[in-house]
């Protein structure tokens, strides 16, 4: 399994090296007033430059601003602690083979306390062993929702008992939000920063 994963990862790196960024940064002189305002609002809210999914999202500045606002809550203020929100972001980026998302959040997940062996299993597309009870409940919930487009009564009840209804909605929100960002970057072929290498190989279909 690990040998196949390594071979697929090398192939992925070769493909990404030749993939063209469909929506690169917009030259300053070509920005509309709405885009300039969206950039200013982003910098004020995040104290950071526009990067990653927000580069292609800037093509629709209203969507970018509203997406950023939703992310401000889901990433920084949701009812789930960072360890669990970053765990959900990793399994979502793995499902979409979204290497920029993984690049940005894998270090955050480690710092938040997600175990290295759990991260490695997610990267390889395996159901992790050694998850905490909270992670296991979220993984089962996320997995059913992704595979079946629904959640069983038993899985739902476990999630509500552990996280409450607000926590369940936040978990769905995090999954949906980072799915959207993954879809944007996969469509735009958003590249990794210079020097970064892809950590995720495509999963077999």
What average pLDDT does the segment 74-87 reach? Answer: 97
In a domain, 42, yes or no: yes
In this predicted model, what pLDDT tens digit does every residue of 125-144 receive, in sequence order?
999 999 999 999 999 999 99
What average pLDDT does the segment 107-119 reach? Answer: 98
pLDDT at 57 over 70: yes
Alpha-carbon gap, residue 143 to 92, rounded angstroms:
10
What average pLDDT does the segment 184-196 reach? Answer: 97
Q: What is the pTM of this model?
A: 0.90
pLDDT at 2 over 70: no
Range of the domain at 128: 1-200
pLDDT band at 18 (very low <50, low <70, confident <90, very high): low
CA torsion, points 106, 131, 144, 157, in degrees to nearest 10?
Answer: -120
Alpha-carbon gap, residue 71 to 13, rounded angstroms:
29
How many Å from the N-terminal Cα to the C-terminal Cα in the chain?
15
Q: What is the pLDDT of residue 5?
A: 53
Q: What is the pLDDT of residue 13?
A: 54
Alpha-carbon gap, residue 138 to 155, rounded angstroms:
9
Q: Residues 121-130: contacts with CB within 8 Å, 24+ apart?
A: 122/90, 122/91, 122/94, 123/94, 123/199, 123/200, 124/1, 124/2, 124/5, 125/5, 125/94, 125/203, 126/1
Alpha-carbon gap, residue 10 to 123, rounded angstroms:
14
Q: Tell me, what CATH number does 70's domain have?
A: 1.20.1290.10
What average pLDDT does the segment 53-62 reach? Answer: 98
In this predicted model, what pLDDT tens digit does every residue of 147-162 receive, in sequence order?
999 999 999 999 999 9
Question: Percentage of the chain with pLDDT > 90?
Answer: 89
- The total number of structural domains that make up the chain: 1
In a domain, 205, yes or no: no
Average pLDDT, the chain: 93
Which of 18, 10, 2, 9 is CA-nearest to residue 201? 9
What average pLDDT does the segment 117-127 reach? Answer: 97
- Residue 85 CB-density burial (10 A; 0-12 exposed, 13-18 middle, 19+ buried): buried
């Amino acid at each position: 399994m690990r040998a196949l994963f390594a071979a697929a990862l090398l192939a992925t790196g070769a493909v990404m090296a030749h993939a063209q960024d469909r929506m690169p940064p917009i030259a300053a002189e070509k920005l509309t007033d709405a885009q300039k305002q969206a950039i200013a609002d982003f910098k004020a809210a995040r104290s950071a430059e526009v990067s990653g999914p927000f580069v292609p999202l800037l093509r629709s500045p209203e969507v970018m601003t509203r997406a950023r606002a939703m992310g401000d809550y889901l990433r920084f203020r949701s009812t789930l602690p960072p360890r669990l929100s970053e765990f959900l972001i990793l399994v979502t980026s793995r499902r979409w083979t979204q290497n920029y998302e993984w690049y940005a959040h894998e270090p955050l997940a480690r710092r938040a306390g997600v175990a290295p062996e759990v991260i490695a299993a997610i990267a390889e597309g395996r159901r992790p062993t050694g998850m905490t009870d909270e992670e296991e409940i979220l993984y089962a919930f996320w997995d059913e929702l992704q595979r079946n487009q629904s959640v069983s009564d038993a899985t739902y009840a476990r999630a509500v008992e552990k996280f409450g209804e607000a926590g369940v909605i936040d978990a769905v929100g995090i999954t949906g939000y980072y799915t959207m960002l993954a879809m944007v970057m996969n469509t735009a072929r958003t590249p990794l920063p210079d020097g970064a290498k892809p950590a995720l190989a495509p999963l077999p279909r």
